[in-house]
Chain A
Amino acid sequence: MGRSESWNASRRNVLKGVGMAAVGASLPPVGAALAQGTAPAAPKGPKLLEMEGKARLSVLGDKPLVAETQAELMDDSVTPTDKLFVRNNGQVPDITGDPKAWKIKIDGEVNTPLELTVGELMSRFPNVTYQLMLECGGNGRSFFSPEARGNQWTNGGAGCPQWTGVHLADVLKAAGLKSSAIYTGHYGADPTLAGETDKPSISRGMPIAKAMEEHTIIAFKLNGKDMPLIHGAPARLVVPGWAGSLSTKWLNRIWIRDKEHDGPGMGGFSYRLTKTPIVPGTKGDEKDTVILEAMPVRSVITFPADGTRLAAGTKKLDLRGQAWSGEADIKTVDISTDYGVSWKPAKVDPAPNKYAWQRFTAAVDLPSAGYYEVWAKATDAKGVTQPFVAGNWNPQGYGANPINRIRVLVAT
């Protein structure tokens, strides 16, 4: 029995591997070939990342390097390191020497300011491993109309790999929080885009309660291996479920504040939603905004790819996807093939831990040949669901999480 299970498992892996290769070959022009084996169309579409250790992600910008994971590459239950999206705010720092000697300072409203090396973090505090969502605050921005300012993410500024590190709470307890401690301010070693090293490229912070939440960690391993430089080695914060800019890479200081942090990325319209809804495309009022904290509920169909051609006679489509919500589990994912007239529930797997995405699967009926849109809509445990279109337009484009769709064509 054990033998047949492992045979099945390896067979599944083989099939999965084949599937991924086919999907990969069909990139980038939204899906070419899946079922019929025709060659992908000429490379008209997003520029693909060419970088050692990284998959051919879709490049949104090269200075700073920003690359998103195509929906069909988000199909793994645990995001492999090469498929994890890349978001930089500044330049990638030069880091040499022993990573274990990398120092992180904890200062500000603490009884005992600390300067700990990564080696000390590893040996002094319990090491924990969780599968945690990392998602760019601007994920989904491209769904806004008109365009909002910034990198034009579809849904690919998100991934859910396994992170190993220490609870930030343990480190903060070791430093001893004063009663005046209400907020954090995070600093990394990345120079600004102009190359300045005397100011942070970005420095965001969070309320102490989120810092003390057990899944907020200082991570030094990614998927069980040394973290690549591009993902923040030697150490980074992982603040799951909240805007990714809090998960500071190349972390070298956490400043405990007695007020809301005011570093670059905390003011203006950065990581802020409007309080009073504004006319899309207008300037808005910076003072009438609220900080984006938890990310909104989202679903992404990861198989098949958008633009897949299905063989004549196809009557059923087995689809897969991932769904998540910043601070809540996913309760249901519903699928529609008739533009939202009727919905059928997908099967939703439980999360391995809080702040991990959840796999959904569904067998969808395709009653005839022709063109179909397949829509997915997730609802979280708080009852919050996805809107039909990206709403609450704001100048820098946060919170766009409309219903996900793929388009498929069943050959006649």
Chain B
Amino acid sequence: MSQLNITHVVVISLTAVFLLVAMDRAGQLRGPQPTYVPPAKPAPLAAVDPEKGKPPPHNDTVEDMPAGKGREVTFYTCTACHGVALIKAQGLTRDLWDSSIDLMIEKHRMPPVKPAERAEILDYLAEQFPPRRRGRNTDNPFLK
């Protein structure tokens, strides 16, 4: 009953090997291992009430928009509703910027702006955010 049979021998040997490898912190018994690079630690979560599940707050400032004539009036007019990131992601012809202002006034209750202000905003938007998408290989990941 207390005899060692082949199963015992196998189990004991395997256990010994596992233990040896497990204790081998220096890795001398395991040969070359791929380097593990831990993922970058994510930035701490923004202060939101987790009960409410609301999006994180955003705090745009005038300086988040590119410098240029008309920046202030454009910032205060557009950011009543929109984040700067969305504005900066646009690349529109003057015509389309002009119709975008119409769209906001006509469909989205933007308070009408004085003609002089509107011209200043339009100049700024058309100058700062024109169409700029080029060929489909300008963002090749292997050229960085």
Residues of A within 8 A of B (CB): 21, 24-25, 29-31, 33, 37-41, 43, 47, 50-53, 56, 59-66, 86, 88, 92, 94, 144-147, 149, 151-152, 192-194, 196, 199, 228-230, 264, 267-270, 281-283, 306-307, 371, 395, 407, 409
CB <8 Å contact, B53 and A147? no
Interchain CA distance A51-B57 in the complex, whole Å: 10
In the assembly, what is the distance between CA of A165 and CA of B71, in Å?
Answer: 48
What are the 4 tightest A-B residue pairs by CB atom distance, in nearest-first order?
A63-B83, A307-B141, A146-B131, A193-B81
Q: Are B40 and A196 interface neighbours, CB within 8 A?
A: no
Query: Complex formed: what's the CA distance from A38 to B42 in Å?
Result: 18
Q: Which residues of A contact B140 (CB under 8 A)?
A: 407
Interface positions, chain B 90-111, Cβ under 8 Å from A, are 90-93, 95-96, 99-100, 103, 106-109
Q: Which residues of B contact A59 (CB under 8 A)?
A: 85
**Which among A38, A51, A152 has the greatest number of chain B C-beta atoms within 10 A?**
A51
A50–chain B nearest beta-carbon distance, Å: 6
Residues of A close to B95: CB separation below 8 A = 282-283
| B32 close to chain A: CB less than 8 A | no
Is there an interface contact between B55 and A37, defined as CB atoms closer than 8 Å? Answer: no
Query: Which of B39, B52, B142 touches A94 (beta carbons < 8 Å)?
Result: B52
- Residue from A62, A267, A307 within 8 A of B83 (CB atoms): A62
Sample 30 A-B pairs with CB under 8 A, ordered by A number: A24-B39, A25-B39, A37-B34, A37-B36, A40-B40, A50-B46, A50-B56, A51-B45, A51-B48, A52-B53, A53-B50, A60-B85, A61-B85, A62-B58, A63-B58, A64-B83, A92-B54, A145-B133, A146-B91, A146-B133, A149-B90, A149-B100, A194-B80, A194-B109, A268-B106, A270-B107, A282-B95, A283-B96, A283-B99, A409-B142
The answer to the question of B89 belonging to the interface, with a C-beta cut-off of 8 Å to chain A, is yes
Q: B residues within 8 A CB of A63?
A: 58, 60, 79, 81-83, 85-86
Residues on the B chain within 8 Å of A193, using CB: 80-82, 108
A92 and B55 contact, CB distance less than 8 A: yes
- Interface residues of B, dominant DSSP: loop
Among B39, B46, B54, B81, the residue within 8 A (CB) of A21 is B39
A30 contacts B141, C-beta separation under 8 Å: yes
Chain A residues near B30: list those with CB within 8 A.
Answer: none
Instruction: Chain B residues near A268: list those with CB within 8 A.
Output: 103, 106-107
B85 to A: closest C-beta gap in Å: 5
Q: Do B81 and A60 have beta carbons less than 8 Å apart?
A: no
A240 to B89: give the CA distance in the assembly, Å.
Answer: 28
Which of A24, A149, A229, A307 is B92 in contact with, Cβ under 8 Å? A149
Give the residues in chain B near A64, CB-CB below 8 Å: 83
- What is the distance, in angstroms, from B86's C-beta to the closest C-beta of chain A? 4
Pick the contact of B133: A60, A88, A147 (CB < 8 A): A147
Judged by a CB distance under 8 angstroms, whether B144 is at the interface is yes
Chain A residues with CB below 8 A from B92, complex form: 146-147, 149
CB distance from B109 to the nearest CB of A (A): 7
Q: Is the CB of B55 within 8 A of A62?
A: yes
Q: CB of B37 within 8 A of chain A?
A: yes
In the assembled complex, the Cα of A282 lies from the Cα of B131 at a distance in Å of 12
- A86 cross-chain contacts in B, Cβ below 8 A: 55
Could you give, for residues 117-144 of chain B, a 1 whenever the CB lies within 8 Å of some chain A CB and a 0 otherwise? 0000000000000011100100111101
User: B35 an interface residue at 8 Å Cβ cutoff?
Assistant: yes
Residue of A nearest to B60 (CB): A63
Q: Are A147 and B48 in contact (CB under 8 A)?
A: no
Chain B positions within 8 Å of A50 at CB level: 42-46, 56
How far apart are A311's CB and chain B's nearest CB, in angstroms?
A: 11
CA distance A51 to B44 in the complex (A): 9
Contact B81 A192 (CB under 8 A): yes
Contact call A306/B48, Cβ cutoff below 8 A: no
Residue of B nearest to A21 (CB): B39
Q: Give the CA-CA distance A38 to B35 in the complex, in Å.
A: 8
CB-CB < 8 A to A152: which residues of B? 89
User: In whole angstroms, what is the CA distance A31 to B40 when docked?
Assistant: 14
Chain B residues whose CB sits within 8 angstroms of the CB of A199 once the complex forms: 109
Question: Which of B50, B141, B142 is packed against the most chain A CB atoms within 10 Å?
Answer: B141
Query: Chain B 3-33 against A: per-residue CB contact (8 Å), 1 yes, 0 no?
Result: 0000000000000000000000000000000
**Known A-B contacts A62-B58, A62-B83, A407-B142; A230 and B53 likewise in contact (beta carbons under 8 Å):** yes
Q: How far is the CB of B93 from chain A (nearest CB, A)?
A: 5
A307 in contact with B142 (CB, 8 Å):
yes
Complex Cα distance A92/B133, Å?
A: 32
